[in-house]
Structure 1
């Protein structure tokens, strides 16, 4: 996108009363931001939602100076700018009615043809949540997903760190401009994140991390992803807002169940109880529900010579060798494992290249 187009879009968005939805209406009608800004009052008046107050605001010429100041910041700091009209704008986010007209990003973000999941949760993550997140991301590594979160304390930063540790691309969606880092102690992670991933925001450089910005930030986290995963949450919190937004966008939502007495499992348990989230016990649950086919869409997993199987895995493998192929529920029944256990075993065996999934929750030995 040219600097001229960015300049005019910035000016349009600085007009009081022009939010994302109104801006999209105007851009759809007039084609470009420059055309909108040059339109006559009677031309603007025919657009649904444009009243006398907004027409008056279009006469405010100070928006051009504000746009110039922001464009200077963008140029000085090599900020990438994407418009919702751009081909490279995130596909899933583009289909959200209230998605940002402009996205600002830093780092090396590549969303093209990639699996993208958001991981959110409490800022007071427990050892249970940390261990679950660790195992989940370890098991997802062969599928090379992008891990999105909000760069906050707790679940967010744990998810970012684990993604970086395993060489996965990770994106921090922040609730402020790219001229600052919040929270400040997380500044130490910035360079590494920008090497393989980076940061994304809709907020201008003069925007601070105000409370209301976090809710707006959450819709990007929910909208950009194929699925949102809630690791831990109390009965109220920002991660539940993100989960509800994901539901509104018709995205899959997953929640990690916990004991009813655990404070930071109450939100997840309620999402599951009210059928607003799928139960997530292992990475296999996610892979199955999202229909991620390891064999077709990732680098082939070669069967190793002299593969070492754990005792439980060997039991399942021997059963499948005898039966040829079978449904997961039947495998669990005959091998005497609970479903949550068998799903994890099957995923591990699939990653070792000794079994493969088939349609209808079927598996067969290779």
Structure 2
């Protein structure tokens, strides 16, 4: 990933493969030697994979593609390439990742169902990400489909198969209302380490991560930790004291690793998301761009987005296509000009002149 950021484009890495230290002066000798080796076999494999993807309708998103998820691009260990099936917008304005135990209770299922239903009502364009596993994951996907929300499953294998096999039918349904994504090429099987690696993608694709139900140990707690490391908001539904299925959630809340979640409104307010009603009200007000002179093209782009209503820094990065660090710097400049005002949760408001 460091190489990708240093090069700026994937083609740049290949063009400088014989002396990669022109791109990254800290590249190890092992890496330099590897890149100088014969690429013939690798290129032949890549050509076959591209052909297979074209035949099967699989989209390929490389790190420097516009279609690559901006939220994921901001993560230090993001995959260099993603494969996807379906019609989901991986750069949707509002995204939430929902994870939890594979042995969920009726309580956990009910929490997920209500959360997704209410999120769809409040923020109609929300996209729900999860891992298409048993338990809470599939509950999240099913709830999204039942309420007309887009949902995307992040899998731990190539897109030429589906695990678990019992979820093939719901995965097929998701292709018309979201999709399935993976960092693994065709032929990759669902080995145990792949599931742990998959967790970082689930965490990286969401504006926030919700742990719906979790025992004291489990993959959903790993996803929560990764989301915290990425600086994303983490929420958890509380459970009864002594309830094994909620030990992990209660511990996250107790240790200030997650905010206590009781309803969809908690997420909307914490992230500064605008409800459909408030968006309509803001559009009626309108703000003329001419009222903001002496702005750079990129600053004008942020102002244009904020004309639609208050927006969180992460969402501004996604909508503008600008790196999060650049967005933060420009927001500071706009704040110094008196054009924007920061709110809680990293939300910014365009000041009416």
TM-score by length of 1: 0.72
Does the CA-based 8 Å contact 2:13-2:20 persist in structure 1? no
Aligned residues: 279
Counterpart check, 1:90 vs 2:69: yes
Does the CA-based 8 Å contact 1:24-1:101 persist in structure 2? no
Give the drift of 1:78: 1.5
RMSD: 2.0
Gaps of 5+ in 2: 283-342, 345-353
Measure the CA separation in 1 of the matches of 2:91 and 2:22.
38
Give the drift of 1:88: 2.4
Counterpart check, 1:206 vs 2:184: no
Tell me the equivalent position of 1:276.
257
Residues 1:40 and 1:179: Cα distance change in structure 2 (over 3 Å): closer
Tell me the equivalent position of 1:331.
none
The 5 Å alignment of 1:98-113 reads 98-113=77-92
Counterpart check, 1:37 vs 2:37: no
The 5 Å alignment of 1:196-345 reads 196-294=177-275, 295-297=277-279
**After superposition, what is the alpha-carbon deviation per residue over 1:153-174, rounded to whole angstroms, capped at 9, x for unaligned?**
0000011001001110000011
Farther off after superposition, 183-192 or 44-53: 44-53
Measure the CA separation in 2 of the matches of 1:54 and 1:272.
42
Gaps of 5+ in 1: 1-19, 301-358, 361-366
2:116 is matched with which residue: 115, 119, 137?
Answer: 137
1:176 is matched with which residue: 157, 178, 183?
Answer: 157
Measure the CA separation in 1 of the matches of 2:30 and 2:234.
40
**After superposition, what is the alpha-carbon deviation per residue over 1:229-271, rounded to whole angstroms, capped at 9, x for unaligned?**
0000011100001001110111110001011211110000000
Measure the CA separation in 1 of the matches of 2:56 and 2:141.
23
Residues 1:282 and 1:65: Cα distance change in structure 2 (over 3 Å): same
Farther off after superposition, 49-58 or 86-95: 49-58
Give the drift of 1:122: 0.1
Tell me the equivalent position of 1:345.
none
Bigger Rg, structure 1 or 2: 1
Does the CA-based 8 Å contact 2:4-2:63 persist in structure 1? no
Does the CA-based 8 Å contact 2:85-2:175 persist in structure 1? yes
**After superposition, what is the alpha-carbon deviation per residue over 1:170-190, rounded to whole angstroms, capped at 9, x for unaligned?**
000111110000001101112
Residues 1:112 and 1:299: Cα distance change in structure 2 (over 3 Å): farther
2:27 is matched with which residue: 50, 61, 86?
Answer: 50
**After superposition, what is the alpha-carbon deviation per residue over 1:282-310, rounded to whole angstroms, capped at 9, x for unaligned?**
2221222122221333699xxxxxxxxxx
Does the CA-based 8 Å contact 1:45-1:55 persist in structure 2? no
Give the drift of 1:196: 0.8
Measure the CA separation in 2 of the matches of 1:134 and 1:51.
49
Does the CA-based 8 Å contact 1:45-1:51 persist in structure 2? no
Query: Which structure is richer in relative contact order (CA contacts within 8 A, separation 6 or more)?
Result: 2
TM-score by length of 2: 0.74
* Displacement over 4 Å in runs of 4+: none
Farther off after superposition, 176-185 or 61-70: 61-70
